[in-house]
Amino acid sequence: MPRLEFRCRLIYESGFHVDAAFDSDAPVTALCGPSGSGKTSVLSMIAGLRRPDSGFIRLGDRVLFDSAAGVHLPPERRGVGYVFQNHLLFPHLDVRGNLLYGWRRRRGRPARADLDKVTRVLELGDLLGRMPAGLSGGERQRVALGRALLCAPALLLLDEPLASVDQDLKGRVLDYIERALADWSIPTLYVSHDPGEIARIAGRVIRLDGGHVSA
């Protein structure tokens, strides 16, 4: 598993700042902490959606960001798959179209998964012709995960993937997530408030408080 190294500082106009340092080579690393502690900010910096003020981010032998060296790879060159808390599926594309968008975003990276296998593992076959508006929260989350897997990520970021899933379905959707991560062995950073989720899925846990690593 490639080691993720994160040493970054980001200051917001509000005065809140993230100043965090951690590293992990666990298959799944959990980021936990109270709301507003900086978890999503960390994911955004790793994905390239926010530029840190200083520091560096490395994944294995690849440098994603290094302020001293002037390196700041754009999101499309980082090879990072991001599953947002609110899914962010394209409303004008059916499930197949959303999945194939991920496939097209590989940008020359060798495929780690194909549409047939993702459809089978995540049990999306009956959904391929449906539009996102007609899907349940759990179904949308499975589609978002499938789309991220199809972009052949070197690192997967999951931002509270079960937050909008009905309580009765959370265990089943987590089953799908565990199965997919085991099948493709993609290093994953998993954000959650739920101690049960974290205990079940993560090999390493990083706790953030007020933008800093506290444990």
What is the spatial distance between Cα 184 and Cα 139, in angstroms, rounded to a whole number?
20
Out of 18-22, 41-45, 132-136, 206-210, least confident range: 132-136
Q: Is the pLDDT of residue 204 over 90?
A: yes
pTM, entire model: 0.89
Burial of 88 (0-12, 13-18, 19+ CB in 10 A): middle
pLDDT classification of 107: cutoffs 50, 70, 90: low
Domain count across the chain: 1
Give tens-digit pLDDT for 131-177.
999 998 888 888 998 898 888 889 999 998 888 777 777 888 888 88
The boundaries of the domain holding residue 188 are 4-213
175: domain CATH number?
Answer: 3.40.50.300
- Percent with pLDDT over 90 in the chain: 57
Decide: 130 and 162 in contact? Cβ < 8 Å.
no
